[in-house]
Copies of this chain bind each other. A is one copy, B any other.
Amino acid sequence: MTVIKVAILGFGTVGEGVYRTIESHADDLEAVLGKKVEVAAILIKNKQRERNIRKNILVTTNFEDILNLPKLDIVIEAIVNKEPTYTFLQKAIERGCHIITANKEMFAHHGKQLIELAEQNNVSVGFEATVAGGIPVIQTLKQLLKINRVQQIQGILNGTSNFILTEMREKKWSFAEALLQAQENGYAEADPTNDVEGFDAFYKTMILSRLAFGEEPNWQDVEREGITSITSELIDAAEKLGLRFKHIASISNERGQIQVSVKPALVGKENPFYHVEGVENAVSVHSDIVGRITLQGPGAGMFPTASAVIEDLVYVCLNTQKDRSFKVEDTAVSDQQRSCKEELWFVHAQSNYFQSLPSNLIEQTFKQTYIIRATKREVEGLANQDKEISYFPIVGEYQTANEDKVLTAQ
């Protein structure tokens, strides 16, 4: 009986979750793979700390020790930062190891190169854990929608932001109060920039874009906005119209043009995202044959993320097929095209009256809130006239306040 030897880089929440799951599901792994899976080494940062790790496992602070093991089949990376992680994984691939990563920032930057290097070395790359935690969206796109042509992906990809927006609405809290709660619960870091400014969701979106469409837009062309501008007043005004703020990543392919944005938007009751609350994530995939499928589940956490890694472990061991790769020739984002498309907008003023009534007004349910149909350029023009205006797109359908009309937004 041969053995599959695994190294785990990092022993934080994810690394430890992976280790515990390999131990607890040893029989299941052996039944599916026909081989025992054995953790051979764990890379740690601090040798002093007490850890509950089997005695016969190499625990080291030096990656070279791991690389020099006599037998090594899979390297699982659960660290943060781009470096030295990227270098470690390149070396692991060159040694002939499959790699599995949970590091979205590194993978958004270097995923393309790692996949190419892996192809040259006849090994596989697992990256399910980089997007939407335990929801198997990467493998759904790779394995289950091979013939369907993906046209659009929308997602709530950052659990921290979604938790903050949920708490603000439910408890009438300010952004600062909700952020503090997120930090107390361990959902947000001491420096929450990565989550609340939309960087984390942005990295995940780039990974999804590459997978679904073979390419991603120029990063600097992508509209990326976090949730720091959302006040409890805005949430309240939206709630009165049956709308909820969600931080939504959106990727679409319109006639070969990849359009990407990562920003707050509003959704109505009939949108599957309306009810995705707290740290949950959701991804909605629209494809040409099947139509829209929505996946919802835990977006983070020790075991949901470990699940993604362990199922990837099986995948890299058994995978003999060439991975899906959509090649899109022209991927430039057309700003002009985007500015010309009409959308529905939720427009909110800080004072009671607008200086000028928008000509394309659909309804004004409350003194400070308008719903308008306009292009992005038009709504920007409106905001330029009146600096106290904030505006957000409505995604999906909007049912007018007197419920006599359902309007379709983007």
Contact = CB atoms under 8 A, between A and B. Distances in A.
A277 interface: yes
A308 B289 CA distance: 9
Output the residue of A32, A270, A296 with the most chain B CB within 10 A: A296
A336 interface: no
Given A148-B311, A149-B28, A277-B270, A291 B143 contact: no
Contacts of A53: none
B149 A311 contact: no
Interface in A116-156: 134-136, 139-140, 143-149
A356 interface: no
Nearest to A37: B147
Contacts of A134: 289-291, 293
A261 B242 CA distance: 35
Interface string A25-37: 1001100100000
A297 B307 contact: no
Interface string A249-280: 00000000000000000000110101101000
Contacts of A274: 275
B143 A144 contact: yes
Contacts of A32: 146-147, 324
A289 B21 contact: yes
A109 to B, nearest CB: 26
Interface stretch (A91-99, A314-322, A341-349, A374-382): A314-322
Contacts of A29: 147
Contact of A291 (B140, B144, B303): B303
Given A143-B144, A321-B318, A290 B303 contact: yes
A295 interface: yes
B147 A311 contact: yes
A292 interface: yes
Interface string A286-307: 0101111111111001011011
A311 B146 contact: yes
Nearest to A314: B146
Contacts of A287: 307
A277 B297 CA distance: 19
Contacts of A303: 289-291
Interface residues of A, number: 48
A289 B136 contact: no
Output the residue of A136, A144, A298 with the most chain B CB within 10 A: A144
A218 B367 CA distance: 62
Contacts of A320: 320
Given A291-B298, A298-B291, A136 B144 contact: yes
A40 interface: no
Given A29-B147, A287-B307, A307-B148, A136 B272 contact: no
A303 B307 CA distance: 32
Contact of A306 (B25, B140, B146, B289): B289
Nearest to A28: B147
A297 B293 contact: yes
A35 to B, nearest CB: 14
A290 B304 contact: yes
Interface in A310-367: 310-311, 313-314, 318, 320-321, 324
A284 to B, nearest CB: 9
A215 to B, nearest CB: 17
19 contacts: A21-B147, A25-B147, A25-B149, A28-B149, A32-B147, A134-B293, A136-B293, A139-B144, A140-B140, A146-B314, A147-B310, A148-B311, A270-B277, A272-B275, A289-B303, A290-B307, A291-B297, A291-B301, A296-B296
Interface of A: 21, 25, 28-29, 32, 134-136, 139-140, 143-149, 269-270, 272, 274-275, 277, 287, 289-298, 301, 303-304, 306-308, 310-311, 313-314, 318, 320-321, 324
